[in-house]
Amino acid sequence: MKPLASRLGLFLVFWLMIAGYAPGDLPVGLAAAALATWASLRLLPAGNGRVRLLPLVGLALHFFRQSVSAGAQVAWLAFRPSMPIHPGFIAYATRLQWAGARNAFCALSSLLPGTLPAGSDDHGSLSIHCLDVDQPVADDLAEEEGLFLQMVRDD
Amino acid sequence: MKSVADIFTIVAVCAGSFFFLAGTVGLLRFPDSLTRLHALTKADNLGLGLVVLGLLPQANGFLGGLKLVAVWLLVQLAGATVAQVIAEALRRRGPPP
Amino acid sequence: MTEFLLGAAGFILLTVTVGLVRILAGPGNIDRTAAAQLLGTGGIAALLLVAGATGARGAEDVALGLALLAAFASVAFVNSVEQRPSDNAERADP
């Protein structure tokens, strides 16, 4: 019952953001939010994972800063005549178990400088494409994963 | 005489345009499809973020601003997903012959 | 301000066009899917700038629709390719 109510609320707020508030339109918004809740519960059933709100804000700010430096890094590489990149894949064994948490972490790490997740390999490790495989990518990812784990309870 | 809000808009939109230019330069110069995908997603995302930030003072009231932020959030979410899906498909295909 | 925003929109559209030319050169169809991603950010930035410049109502809604459609189109296309044994089959076709 609880995931249903919180998702319904979230979708309704999002609908209000997009459509604007008008009392006459509210039934349409409620219907849209109900449909979205139904689809989301079907596609992503409520798992054991929990999201803690306060660390979420800190994490959002952290990843916001990271995505700025990721964009700056690409700009710097693009304009540099020598372009020092060594692209390649690394396998990263993630500690995250819940699929939802994994997906969220992959989405976040696609914003990090120099990394782009490209699915899982046959051994269940994440396959990460890096702009520079000589960088300590796995260590950086482990650090980011630690921050991420403060936000989700993954069990 | 321009207001502070207008100057903020001009600075942020110029910075955003710069990152779109950087993304395209990266797209032209990077050696393979996967590195080009890096250029595309990271530089352009930041460019869009700065453009949205710059447009906020010009937005049509509080709700207009919220809507701009909603567009930006959706594009981020969609972009993060699409980039991974394309990257995985490119990895499965392997290096081009 | 209107001229500035329209100018910025034009500039971004120009970078998107140059990028599109590069992406559509391939080599494969999966590589070309990234064009949707490029349109999904650059096209939307230009659209939002035009909306801010002209005050045209509904342009943000078009931007939202474009963002969602670009994402769905890419995911659907990649899934349809993945169902085949490999992308090489696609390459072998003339």
pLDDT band at A5 (very low <50, low <70, confident <90, very high): confident
| pLDDT at residue A1, rounded to an integer | 58
CA distances for C94 relative to B81, C4, C88, angstroms: 30, 46, 12
Give the nearest partner residue to C74 out of B48, B55, B82, using CB atoms.
Answer: B82
For residue A110, the SS3 value is coil
A144: pLDDT strictly greater than 50? yes
Phi, psi of A130 (to 5 degrees): -120, 145
- Residue span of the structural domain in which C67 resides: 2-92
Chain A within 8 Å of B9 (Cβ-Cβ)? no
Chain A stretch 45-64, residues whose beta carbon is closer than 8 A to a beta carbon of chain B? none
| pLDDT at residue A85, rounded to an integer | 76
Task: Retrieve residue B18's tokens.
Answer: 């710069």
Look up the pTM and report it: 0.80
CB contact under 8 A, B75 and C27: no
Domain count, chain C: 1
Q: For A93-122, what is each residue's pLDDT tens digit?
A: 777 777 777 777 888 888 888 788 887 777
Q: By percentage, how much of chain B surpasses pLDDT 90?
A: 6
- Asked if residues B11 and B54 have their Cβ atoms less than 8 Å apart, the reply is yes
pLDDT band at A47 (very low <50, low <70, confident <90, very high): low
Chain B within 8 Å of A77 (Cβ-Cβ)? yes
Task: Retrieve residue C88's tokens.
Answer: 């090489």
Among A131, A132, C12, A100, residue whose Cα is nearest residue B42: A131
SS (H, E, C) chain B: CCCHHHHHHHHHHHHHHHHHHHHHHHHHHCCCHHHHHHHHHHHHHHHHHHHHHHHHHHCCHHHHHHHHHHHHHHHHHHHHHHHHHHHHHHHHHCCCC
Chain B CB contacts of A89 below 8 Å:
91
Chain A within 8 Å of B80 (Cβ-Cβ)? yes
| pLDDT at residue C86, rounded to an integer | 46
Q: For B45-79, what is each residue's pLDDT tens digit?
A: 889 999 999 888 887 777 778 888 888 888 888 87
| pLDDT at residue C90, rounded to an integer | 45
Q: By percentage, how much of chain A surpasses pLDDT 70?
A: 88
**By CA distance, what is B73's nearest residue in A?**
A14
Q: For A122-132, what is each residue's pLDDT tens digit?
A: 777 778 888 77
| pLDDT at residue C92, rounded to an integer | 40
B28: pLDDT strictly greater than 60? yes
The neighbouring-strand residues paired with A116 are A129
| pLDDT at residue C94, rounded to an integer | 39
The one-letter code for the residue type at A117 is: P
What is the rounded distance in angstroms from the CA atom of residue B54 to the CA atom of residue C14? 20
Question: B43 burial class (0-12, 13-18, 19+ CB within 10 angstroms)?
Answer: buried
Chain B CB contacts of C41 below 8 Å:
40, 44-45, 47-48, 75, 79
CB contact under 8 A, B35 and A87: yes
| pLDDT at residue B72, rounded to an integer | 85
B97: pLDDT strictly greater than 60? no
- Written as tens digits, the pLDDT of chain C (94 aa) is 888 888 888 999 999 888 888 888 777 777 777 777 787 788 889 988 888 888 777 777 888 888 788 778 877 877 777 655 444 444 444 3
Among A117, A140, A127, residue whose Cα is nearest residue A69: A140
| pLDDT at residue A28, rounded to an integer | 87
Distance (Å) from the C-alpha of residue C79 to the closest C-alpha of chain B? 9
Chain centroid to CA A39: how far?
Answer: 19
- Asked if residues C45 and B51 have their Cβ atoms less than 8 Å apart, the reply is yes
**Interface pTM, i.e. ipTM:** 0.81
Chain B within 8 Å of A110 (Cβ-Cβ)? yes
| pLDDT at residue C88, rounded to an integer | 45
